[in-house]
Chains A and B, each alone.
Chain A
Amino acid sequence: MNIDRLERLDACTWRLNPESGMRVPVILYGDEALIRAMDDKVLEQAANVAGLPGIVQASYAMPDAHWGYGFPIGGVAAFDAGAGGVVSAGGVGFDVSCGVRTLLTGLKRPAIEPVKTLLADTLYADIPVGLGSHGKIRLDAQGLDAMLKGGAQWAVEQGWGEARDLTRVEEHGRMEGARPENVSARAKERQRAEMGTLGSGNHYLEVQEVTEIFDAGSAQTFGISEGDVVVSIHCGSRGLGHQIGTEYLRLMQGAAKRYGIALPDRELACAPIESEVGQDYLGAMRAAINCALANRQILTHLTRQVFARVLPAARLELLYDVSHNTCKFEEHLVEGKRRRLHVHRKGATRAYGPGHPDLPAAFAETGQPVLIGGSMGTASYILAGTSGSETLSFASACHGAGRSMSRHQATRTWQGREVIDQLAERGILIRSPSYRGVAEEAPGAYKDVHAVVQASDRAGLARLVARLEPIICIKG
């Protein structure tokens, strides 16, 4: 990115002052190397978002931002319904409520080693992964609607998990305001065989080791210490969310025109929050959030069953579950006033600071666990929400490494088999149905996740707590 137009506010904060068509400034977070390495499209897209009606304070890009669809991936923008604010299907993305859930196991690394291959093979056999894999769960129309209203709470009621899990899921496992009646028959049909499946692309289930602690106090509260084994699950709302994204993106093409909203990019299609289309989308999108929460809850249950067989000493307890593709109605302090806003996070993780009323009591002093997924050969990180992030980014942080190379280029650079062998030499077992999928997701195709989380920490968006490194990766 050409940084000539940017004003540098501090080491990791950059501003583009409003230019023609922008209602608010753009704020980019990242150190100079990350900002320079970002695609120019990130600035262009963030500036386009800054021109949407009812946007409040600024259009933000997180340190892992990259060229997305209308909104940059790594974009955060809040809108005031009362000021003509809009909701955008592109501002949430196709994979509604994609997120990360991390489970503690109570085990140390040496306990895994003797059964590592068996654990990898059993997880791969029992967790439906990749295109063409189906879950065992089939829901009828009534069951599907109950799932869309009930989220992880519904899944626990069905026997997939424990009631105590729910205190460690955003929204206590159930997104209010979901309207299954706004979800098309096609979207429901697309979900029919997909409950309890991981998906493909960058989605994964990883067994990881805690290899470094940066903040001992918070780590203790989160229940992690060096050498611990944890399990992280990265996936979203599967076919249902993809179809909802597709359909509402299409509907909003017409809506934006009807409401006289000028769009510099078709992908920015949006509708006033208070319009019929806007409300219908919010109801459907919240149902998709519940689908994602239920899905990760079912995958948790499947994972527990595998551990119970392979490593009966393990006790899988939920650390936290947080999504990074959402639009949520939240209260934020803006210029001294508390306002209720619709906050879009497209590839950005909510990061509530200490004392936030929506957090479980356990995290009252540390702030919320912010779970950042890496690529399969690199590290993942656990951060904690800060008090300052509300004014910096509507309490949001990065969500992952972000790609530095296209899939196309990655498949020309690496062979899947070779990637798997190289990782095996480092003690990392990969299980995947597709060599090409593995090549597309090769660790070298991603940015340096460490630089991304460090910049998030330095900018004050979230505080580094721990690094996790993969032991086993089940990949779609």
Chain B
Amino acid sequence: MKDYDSPHWEHFEHMADIGVRGFGATPEEAFAQAALALSAVICDPASVREMEKVEVECEAADLELALVDWLNALIYEMAVRHMVFGRFQVDIAGGRLKGIAWGEPLDPLRHRPAVEIKGATYTELEVEREAGGRWRAQCVVDV
């Protein structure tokens, strides 16, 4: 059985597009898991080798806006660097989010990317601490 207390991610339904959702013990963990869900929209994150490290930074005064900004920063880096990512680390302190993404150049034959992501949206956007104590970070992405 799945351990629902350990960090994990999932996709959720949206008619035209797809929702990404991460769970973790802290907002940082939930954000990193949501980023994995984002990667999984494109390809299997487990198929991505950790060859390069990319750092991004954004504002984090409002956690929900920070989630959208974080995911959009990753979408931008994937687009201009022609990369896919398979692991993430997030730190939030002093109203700033600092994130690291590990990945490699996109190889269409090996990664078989399903779809390109246009942007993260404010639809179904929620960053919340659930009753049981774990954090959930989610939104819909436009593909």
Contact = CB atoms under 8 A, between A and B. Distances in A.
B11 A408 contact: yes
Nearest to A253: B65
B32 to A, nearest CB: 21
Contacts of A70: 122-123
Contact of A407 (B18, B107, B108): B18
Given A69-B142, A407-B17, A246 B72 contact: yes
A249 interface: yes
A332 interface: no
Contacts of A406: 13-18
Given A94-B118, A408-B11, A434-B112, A73 B80 contact: no
A239 B143 CA distance: 12
- Which of B82, B106, B118 has the most C-beta atoms of chain A within 10 angstroms of its own C-beta? B118
B42 A131 contact: yes
B139 to A, nearest CB: 10
A132 interface: yes
A410 to B, nearest CB: 10
Contact of B118 (A39, A189, A192, A245): A245
Contact of B119 (A131, A242, A253, A266): A242
A188 B33 CA distance: 29
Contacts of A349: none
Interface residues of A, number: 48
A243 interface: yes
Interface string A406-433: 1111000000000000000000000001
B116 A201 contact: yes
A193 B140 CA distance: 26
B46 interface: no
A67 interface: yes
B115 A440 contact: yes
Contacts, number: 123
B113 A434 contact: yes
Contacts of A131: 42, 106, 108, 113, 115-116
Given A69-B142, A186-B76, A436-B114, A269 B122 contact: yes
Interface string B71-86: 0100110011010000
B69 interface: yes
Contacts of A189: 80
Given A67-B14, A186-B76, A436-B114, A132 B106 contact: yes
A437 interface: yes
Contacts of A269: 122
A186 B112 CA distance: 26
Contacts of B13: 406, 408-409
A68 interface: yes
Contact of A132 (B17, B76, B82): B82
A190 B79 contact: yes
Contacts of B119: 94, 242-243, 245-246, 249
Contact of A434 (B76, B79, B114): B114
A190 B108 contact: no
Contact of B115 (A69, A253, A437): A437
Nearest to A133: B108
Given A131-B106, A267-B122, A403 B16 contact: yes
A200 B143 CA distance: 8
A93 B121 CA distance: 10
Contacts of B121: 69, 249, 267
Given A70-B122, A131-B113, A242-B79, 16 more contacts: A95-B142, A132-B106, A132-B107, A132-B111, A132-B113, A192-B80, A193-B82, A249-B122, A250-B72, A266-B125, A408-B11, A435-B112, A436-B114, A436-B115, A437-B115, A476-B116
6 contacts: A131-B115, A190-B80, A242-B142, A267-B123, A406-B15, A436-B112
In the complex, the 3 A-B pairs of residues with the closest C-beta atoms, listed nearest first: A266-B122, A436-B114, A131-B113
